[in-house]
Amino acid sequence: MFNAVAVVTFGSAALIGVWAIYPRLDKKSGSPIFWEGIVSRATIGAYVQEVMQLDQSQIEQAYAAQNYHLSEILCTKYRAIQRCARLFTIGIIFACVYVVLGTITVG
């Protein structure tokens, strides 16, 4: 039983870990700061020209929006990484118990 619990928790930790590091890109963004928004422009020149036409207030608004969006993503990812670490620790405990019990019963 301990080995089954260990395998399930390791598997769950792996799935959550992959989910946490998988990139989340907003392909619809027209932001002059967000990566996907930047590469949505046809050329480098078009992007540079658009940025040069922005005033200071527009640039600050774009940065503020990007900071907010990025903080949402990172908070979600960090919580998932914490869950992953907890599950991995539980898996290690169950795996150790399984090995110790196996050693005791065999010995």
Residue 32 has pLDDT above 60, yes or no: yes
Position 25 confidence tier, pLDDT thresholds 50, 70, 90 = low
Half-sphere CA count of 22, side-chain side, radius 13 A: 7
Q: If you average pLDDT over every residue of the chain, what do you get?
A: 87
The predicted model gives 6-16 an average pLDDT of 91
Give this prediction's pTM.
0.67
pLDDT bracket for residue 56 (50, 70, 90): very high
| Spatial distance between the Cα atoms of 23 and 40, rounded to a whole number of angstroms | 17
